[in-house]
């Protein structure tokens, strides 16, 4: 799997590159600023890109803007955005095209390499991955309102993990329940939230995130 | 200082000393006025032009016109440079702290996480204890990052640095526990200190609406017209807010005062509460 990394901090860029190589990824190019990123994304057409929001030259949101621009030029180009802080505003912009192949995680998640490489593979497959902190922000306002308030504690946990973009088997592993039990909870959640049921993992994540963000 | 250094035609020590008392008087008055103005600036928030006007009036009544003109020039220059240096220094400092934390402590913590992960595979003696220890360090570094994030947000919110006031207000609206809508019409980036002061003003108004007013919805409207930034935060809560009692809005008012900005609150019992801030600034 070919990966492009955009990160201006040398230590982190090299650390991520060696971690990915260890897990069998092929690092096609590692860049350190916004303009090189846009060039690398459109010329390399990687299977997935890892992009830091804030990059030189101006240290604002060059990384995010370059990633969004690359996705306009190459629709559905998979990008995993990393940042030291998460904003619902950025999550909304990333999800706006509803095309999938998008991830948004705190840089801290790189520590847990399974979580990180799983997320990377999900995004590369066209899936959607959202940081637990964004999901928590989305749920914070909703939790007191009727449809979400009607969910059982277990259903709420499943909903959270589902919004993070985890598969049924990953949710089952995390909550130590069977895959069948997870599907049952999902059906019940979708019924309570009045969402059309879907077997497609990515459509399911997008539906839940759109619902929580509305 | 310039006058003291000018030795006169004789260039002797005596003439320098002769000149000193009169000149020292003018500079003394200048220093006194500057001190009073600085005190006003620090204690009640700066309205630089008000205090310059007061000092000018006082100077004209107390001194001969020639000295008064000198004094006025010194006061104007001194105070204006003091005020702008103070504002500029504060904001540069804040920006530097934000960058230092972003590139320093946070980067080191991330590197630590990665090296710990590598260590896990290397340790052979007492692997169980080593792994447990490594996992603990990892948790600690993650916790430190969470704290740093909160700190950075309080000093200079990253979204403000990355996107400017308009999007930072939209982000505040999204994070507000009360459903909030934002209507933003701003021309590009405003001066950084004004953006920061306005951001914290909106954050305070939203926090009040959520905490005290039991509002069901909040609306934020930010515009820039006739050389002034105007932001209105209105909620449909219980009203009855007294801006003179809470320390939050007082702090906001002081910070806005630094830029000749004003804060007005209308909050009759039963609501609605409308908080308006206005700051004169170019775009």
Identify the three-state secondary structure at position B94.
helix
At B91 the pLDDT is 73
ipTM of the complex: 0.84
| Average pLDDT, integer, range B146-168 | 85
Minimal Cβ distance to B159: which of A19, A87, A110? A87
At B58 the pLDDT is 64
Indicate the range of B8-17, B114-123, B142-151, B231-240 predicted with least confidence: B8-17
Has residue B15 got a pLDDT over 50?
A: no
List chain B residues with CB under 8 Å of A111. Answer: 110, 113-114, 116-117, 138, 141-142
pLDDT tens-digit map of B61-112: 566 666 666 666 766 776 666 666 666 656 776 776 776 666 666 666 676 7
Q: Residues in chain A with pLDDT < 50?
A: none
At A198 the pLDDT is 79
Q: Which CATH class is domain A2-130?
A: alpha beta
Has residue B45 got a pLDDT over 60?
A: no
CA angle centred on A156, ends A150 and A159, rounded to 5°? 115
Q: Do B175 and A111 touch (CB under 8 A)?
A: no
List chain B residues with CB under 8 Å of A110. Answer: 110, 113-114
pLDDT tens-digit map of A35-75: 999 999 999 999 999 999 999 998 899 999 999 999 999 99
CATH 3.20.20.70 fits A134-213, yes or no: no
pTM for the model: 0.73
Per-domain residue ranges of chain A: 2-130, 134-213
Minimal Cβ distance to A108: which of B142, B152, B161? B142
Q: Do A85 and B152 touch (CB under 8 A)?
A: yes
Cα gap A166→A150, rounded to integer Å: 22
pLDDT tens-digit map of B207-221: 988 888 788 999 999
At B164 the pLDDT is 94
List chain A residues with CB under 8 Å of B154. Answer: none
CATH (residue range B164-280): 3.30.565.10
Alpha helices in chain B (DSSP H): 2-5, 13-44, 48-62, 65-100, 106-122, 127-155, 158-163, 165-175, 192-211, 247-257
What average pLDDT does chain B have?
75
Task: Quickly state the pLDDT bin for B9 (edges 50, 70, 90).
Answer: very low
Cα gap B154→B199, rounded to integer Å: 11
Task: Quickly state the pLDDT bin for B29 (edges 50, 70, 90).
Answer: low
Read off the DSSP letter of residue B237: S
């Amino acid at each position: 799997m070919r990966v492009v990394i955009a990160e201006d901090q040398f230590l982190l860029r090299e650390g991520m590159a060696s971690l990915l190589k260890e897990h069998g990824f092929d690092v096609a190019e590692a860049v350190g600023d916004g303009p090189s990123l846009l060039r690398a994304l459109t010329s390399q057409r990687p299977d997935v890109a890892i992009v830091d929001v804030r990059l030189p030259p101006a240290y604002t949101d060059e990384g995010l803007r370059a990633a969004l621009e690359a996705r306009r030029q190459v629709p559905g180009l998979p990008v995993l955005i990393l940042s030291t802080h998460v904003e619902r505003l950025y999550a909304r912009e990333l999800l706006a095209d509803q095309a999938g192949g998008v991830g948004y995680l705190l840089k801290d998640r790189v520590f847990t390499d399974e979580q990180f490489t799983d997320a990377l593979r999900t995004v590369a497959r066209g899936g959607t991955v959202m940081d637990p902190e964004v999901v928590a922000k989305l749920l914070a306002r909703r939790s007191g309102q009727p449809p979400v308030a009607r969910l059982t504690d277990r259903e709420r946990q499943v909903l959270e993990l589902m919004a993070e973009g985890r598969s049924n088997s990953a949710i089952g592993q995390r909550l130590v329940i069977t895959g069948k039990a997870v599907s049952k909870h999902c059906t019940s959640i979708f019924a309570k939230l009045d969402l059309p049921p879907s077997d497609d993992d990515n459509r399911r994540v997008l539906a839940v995130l759109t619902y929580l963000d509305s | 200082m310039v006058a003291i250094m000018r030795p006169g035609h004789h260039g002797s020590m005596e003439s320098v000393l002769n000149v000193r008392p009169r000149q020292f008087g003018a500079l003394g008055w200048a220093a006194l006025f500057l001190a009073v103005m600085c005190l006003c600036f620090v204690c009640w928030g700066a309205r630089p032009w008000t205090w310059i006007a007061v000092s000018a009036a006082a100077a004209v009544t107390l001194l001969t016109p020639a000295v008064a003109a000198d004094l006025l020039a010194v006061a104007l220059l001194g105070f204006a440079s003091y005020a702008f240096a103070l504002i500029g220094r504060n904001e540069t400092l804040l920006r530097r702290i934000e960058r230092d934390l972003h590139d320093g402590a946070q980067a080191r913590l991330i590197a630590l996480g990665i090296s710990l992960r590598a260590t896990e595979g290397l340790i052979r003696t007492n692997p169980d204890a080593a792994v447990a220890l490594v996992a603990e360090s990892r948790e600690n570094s993650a916790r430190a990052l969470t704290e740093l994030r909160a700190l950075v947000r309080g000093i200079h919110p990253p979204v403000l640095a990355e996107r400017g006031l308009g999007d930072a207000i939209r982000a505040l609206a999204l994070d507000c526990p009360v459903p909030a809508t934002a209507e933003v019409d701003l021309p590009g980036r405003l001066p950084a200190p004004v953006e920061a002061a306005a951001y914290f003003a909106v954050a305070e108004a939203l926090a009040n609406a959520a905490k005290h007013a039991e509002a069901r919805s909040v609306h934020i409207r930010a515009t820039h017209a006739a050389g002034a930034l105007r932001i209105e935060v209105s909620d449909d809560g219980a009203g009855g807010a007294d801006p003179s009692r809470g320390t939050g809005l007082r702090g906001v008012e002081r910070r806005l005062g630094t830029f000749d900005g004003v804060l007005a609150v209308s909050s009759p019992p039963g609501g609605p509460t409308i908080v308006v801030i206005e700051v004169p600034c170019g775009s």
